[in-house]
């Protein structure tokens, strides 16, 4: 069965579960809210539903119930590669089923029919000052595609119907996932390769074609596949996924929604941390002036950052309380890659891994002193020659499109409501604090 038909069946089978929960069990209490959560970024409040991924604080992410190693092991591999194609992962995220090789081939072929980016998108990006941040370019590129939104056209057709609205979200979502690496490659070539553009290779899967389009090596094809899959989804409360969900909940189409999500990803506490990590490392290397990194000089650099009131980029997490398994997956990739495991930058990242958790624990602020995904990703890009670290968040954004687009397709399939939490005033909090939090009226 084709992906969209499978998805249709899954959504229709799932709907009664959601209806039953709201109609029969809608008033069952699953959480409570405290003043520190209210002021402190809604941390840990259970108020979002997704079945696409789940983040356990100790274990880390599971995609559709599978850990990262289980996901990589289960999915069919790209030809001649130890890694799955991004297309097979897209099928898996959307449906929860591991696709057959034939189903993957269908998705790869479908992406080919969708990946042509209209010239006006490139023109819009070219019209920006060349020193604009590449995340601005990516967000503009996605937004520029909006005029062709199938969801917006369906909404405006006068035939809008909630039961089938997800189908046009799926169409836009798949277009975005197929086109975003093409836009990302265009930005890379425009900004860093003197506008030397490379045409799509219609024989290659998404990750391999991205490598080809930025003029990269054969080995980088697996880096791209791994990178996009690892960065895809982190349940739905993170800033980029939540923003995308929130904006789409107003029935703004997937282009508006993901452009907004990307703007959230561009924050230094979120996706931009990967560029901050490389910046921090480069600054530190400069100070070393050729000397070897040691536990002592890394400790000092970490304290200098903390004493200057800055965060150590790549460390800490709002939910995780252990080393991020996405960090470990990338570290294992480095350790298994001859050359990379002896690379001076990897050795420095490994030394920071040995040192930072102790320093952060002694500093005593962060609830999680362990590395997150961003602490390890830049060194791989650098090793393969993608050295322009202000571009790293764009790579994150290409991967994150998979999770955000799968999520909003299901949001529409299950008819999730416009998001609208209730706000309160400081005086109300003060009154409830004085009353011991009992009279919530
Ligand atoms: N370095 C220094 N201080 C930190 C760090 C860190 N890496 N992480 C948290 N803290 C501080 C934090 O700023 C806060 O201080 P204050 O009370 O003065 O406001 C305190 O520790 C408590 O914060 P937490 O509750 O542990 O963390 P929170 O949930 O608020 O924030 C992050 C989570 C990820 C925003 C935070 O750990 C951070 O800023 N990390 C560095 C940036 C980073 O790597 N972000 C990438 C996250 C992953 N991603 O890709 O999105
Ligand atoms: C993410 O991948 O979105 C980050 O780890 C941040 C988060 O989960 O809050």
- Asked if 219 and 38 count as a contact pair (C-beta separation under 8 A), the reply is no
For 55, the 3-state DSSP assignment is strand
**Partners of 63 in the β-ladder:** 53, 66
Nearest CA to ligand 1 atom 32: 317
Burial of 220 (0-12, 13-18, 19+ CB in 10 A): buried
Q: Average pLDDT, stretch 389-408?
A: 98
Determine whether the shortest distance from the Cβ of 176 to ligand 2 is under 6 A. Answer: no
Residues labelled catalytic:
270, 317, 374
Q: Average pLDDT, stretch 421-429?
A: 97
Q: State which ligand 1 atom lies nearest to the alpha carbon of 324.
A: 48
d(CA 272, CA 236): 18
Find the ligand nearest to 236 CA: 2
H or E stretch including 62?
strand 60-63
Nearest CA to ligand 2 atom 7: 238
Q: State which ligand 1 atom lies nearest to the alpha carbon of 277.
A: 44
Q: How confident is the model at residue 438 (pLDDT cuts 50, 70, 90)?
A: low
Residues 6 or more apart whose CB falls under 8 angstroms from that of 327 comprise 370, 371, 372, 373, 375, 376
Find the ligand nearest to 378 CA: 1
Closest CA to 8 of 153, 156, 168: 168
Strands 53-56 and 60-63: antiparallel
Burial code (b: 16+ CB inside 10 Å, e: under 16) for 392-425 equals bbbbbbbbbbbbbbbbbbbbbbbebeeeeeeeee
Determine whether the shortest distance from the Cβ of 312 to ligand 1 is under 6 A. Answer: yes
d(CA 356, CA 351): 8
384: left (phi over 0), alpha (psi -120 to 50) or beta: alpha
pLDDT digits (tens, 9 = 90+) for 80-120: 999 999 999 999 999 999 999 999 999 999 999 999 999 99
What number of CA atoms fall less than 13 Å from residue 110's CA on the CB side? Answer: 21
Determine whether the shortest distance from the Cβ of 234 to ligand 1 is under 6 A. Answer: no
Find the ligand nearest to 44 CA: 1
Which of 41, 237, 239 to mutate to test ligand 2, by most ligand atoms within 8 A of the CB atom? 239
Give me the long-range contacts of 76-85 (CB less than 8 A, separation at least 24).
Answer: 76/100, 76/101, 76/104, 78/205, 78/207, 78/208, 78/221, 78/222, 78/225, 81/221, 81/222, 81/225, 82/222, 83/207, 83/222, 83/225, 83/226, 83/229, 84/225, 84/229, 85/205, 85/206, 85/207, 85/225
Find the ligand nearest to 41 CA: 1
Q: How confident is the model at residue 440 (pLDDT cuts 50, 70, 90)?
A: low
- CB atoms under 10 Å from CB of 339, counted, come to 10
Nearest CA to ligand 1 atom 1: 311
Determine whether the shortest distance from the Cβ of 234 to ligand 2 is under 6 A. Answer: yes
Q: Average pLDDT, stretch 64-89?
A: 97
Determine whether the shortest distance from the Cβ of 318 to ligand 2 is under 6 A. Answer: yes
Residues 6 or more apart whose CB falls under 8 angstroms from that of 298 comprise 284, 348, 351, 352, 355, 356
Q: Ligand 2: distance of its center to the CA of 160 in Å?
A: 34
Burial of 106 (0-12, 13-18, 19+ CB in 10 A): middle
What number of CA atoms fall less than 13 Å from residue 320's CA on the CB side? Answer: 22
Determine whether the shortest distance from the Cβ of 375 to ligand 1 is under 6 A. Answer: no
Q: Ligand 1: distance of its center to the CA of 49 in Å?
A: 24
pLDDT digits (tens, 9 = 90+) for 186-213: 999 999 999 999 999 999 999 999 999 9
pLDDT(290) > 90: no
- CB atoms under 10 Å from CB of 429, counted, come to 14
Determine whether the shortest distance from the Cβ of 368 to ligand 2 is under 6 A. Answer: no
Q: Ligand 2: distance of its center to the CA of 242 in Å?
A: 10
pLDDT at 287: 86
pLDDT digits (tens, 9 = 90+) for 315-349: 999 999 999 999 999 999 999 999 999 999 999 99
CA 199 to centroid of chain Cα atoms: 26
pLDDT digits (tens, 9 = 90+) for 132-189: 999 999 999 999 999 999 999 999 999 999 999 999 999 999 999 999 999 999 999 9
Q: Ligand 1: distance of its center to the CA of 247 in Å?
A: 25
Determine whether the shortest distance from the Cβ of 273 to ligand 1 is under 6 A. Answer: yes
pTM (predicted TM-score): 0.97
pLDDT at 439: 54
Nearest CA to ligand 1 atom 45: 269
- Asked if 369 and 356 count as a contact pair (C-beta separation under 8 A), the reply is yes
pLDDT at 233: 98
Which of 275, 366, 399 to mutate to test ligand 1, by most ligand atoms within 8 A of the CB atom? 366
Determine whether the shortest distance from the Cβ of 191 to ligand 2 is under 6 A. Answer: no
pLDDT at 320: 98
């Amino acid at each position: 069965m084709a992906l969209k038909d499978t998805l249709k069946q899954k959504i229709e089978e799932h709907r009664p579960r959601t209806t039953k929960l709201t109609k029969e069990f809608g008033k069952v209490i699953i959480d409570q809210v405290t003043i520190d959560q209210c002021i402190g970024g809604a941390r840990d409040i259970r108020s979002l539903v997704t079945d696409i991924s789940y983040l356990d604080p100790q274990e880390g992410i599971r995609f559709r119930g599978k850990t990262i190693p289980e996901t990589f092991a289960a999915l069919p591999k790209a030809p001649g590669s130890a890694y799955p194609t991004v297309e097979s992962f897209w099928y898996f995220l959307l449906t929860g089923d591991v696709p057959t090789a034939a189903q993957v081939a269908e998705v790869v072929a479908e992406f080919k029919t969708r990946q042509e980016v209209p010239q006006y998108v490139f023109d819009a990006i070219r019209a920006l000052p060349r020193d604009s941040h590449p995340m601005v370019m990516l967000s503009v590129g996605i937004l520029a595609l909006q005029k062709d939104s199938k969801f917006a056209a369906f909404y405006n057709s006068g035939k809008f119907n909630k039961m089938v609205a997800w189908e046009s979200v799926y169409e836009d979502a798949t277009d975005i996932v197929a086109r975003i690496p093409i836009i990302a490659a265009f930005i890379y070539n425009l900004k860093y390769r003197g506008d030397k553009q490379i045409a799509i290779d219609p024989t290659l899967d998404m990750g391999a074609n991205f490598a080809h389009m930025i003029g990269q090596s054969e080995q980088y094809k697996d880096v791209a596949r791994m990178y996009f899959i690892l960065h895809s989804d982190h349940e739905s409360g993170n800033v980029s996924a939540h923003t995308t969900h929130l904006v789409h909940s107003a029935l703004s189409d997937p282009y508006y929604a993901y452009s907004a999500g990307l703007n959230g990803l561009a924050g230094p506490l979120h996706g931009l941390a990967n560029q901050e990590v490389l910046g921090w490392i480069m600054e530190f290397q400069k100070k070393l002036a050729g000397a070897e990194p040691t536990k002592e000089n890394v400790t000092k650099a970490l304290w200098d950052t903390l004493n200057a009131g800055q965060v150590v980029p790549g460390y800490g997490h709002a939910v995780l309380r252990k080393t991020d398994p996405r960090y470990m997956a990338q570290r294992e990739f480095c350790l298994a890659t001859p050359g990379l495991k002896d690379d001076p930058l990897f050795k420095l990242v490994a030394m920071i891994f040995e040192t930072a958790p102790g320093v952060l624990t002694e500093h005593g602020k962060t609830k999680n002193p362990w590395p997150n995904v961003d602490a390890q990703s830049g060194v791989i890009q650098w090793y393969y020659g993608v050295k322009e670290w202000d571009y790293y968040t764009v790579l994150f954004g290409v991967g994150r499109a998979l999770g955000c687009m799968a999520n909003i397709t299901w949001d529409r399939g299950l008819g999730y409501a416009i998001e609208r939490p209730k706000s309160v005033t400081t005086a109300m909090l003060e009154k409830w604090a004085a009353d011991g939090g009992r009279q919530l009226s």
